[in-house]
Amino acid sequence: MIGKNFTIEETAELFHVTNSTIYKWVHNNKIPHVKVGRRLLFPENDIDAFINQFRIPAYDENVIHIDNYLANLKRG
């Protein structure tokens, strides 16, 4: 399935950075992208995954993970 592809401008707007910052990220392979001819595209699914790698869980999520971890330790 083909989803939405963001342009340089749309991607820069999404991250609140300049177009040149996006070009730098592309040059340094810091952001997933697709090159079609001379055109750079940023698939929505790849951008979502890229953003999620920096996600910091909410406090409640951390407590749940810790509780599950401790419960598993007690079970052996």
For residue 19, what are its two tokens? 């177009």
pLDDT tens string 16-26: 999 999 999 99
Q: Does the global pTM surpass 0.75?
A: no
CB 66 within 8 A of CB 58: no
Hey, where are the domains in the chain? 5-75
In total, the chain counts a number of residues equal to 76
pLDDT tens string 35-54: 999 999 999 999 999 999 98
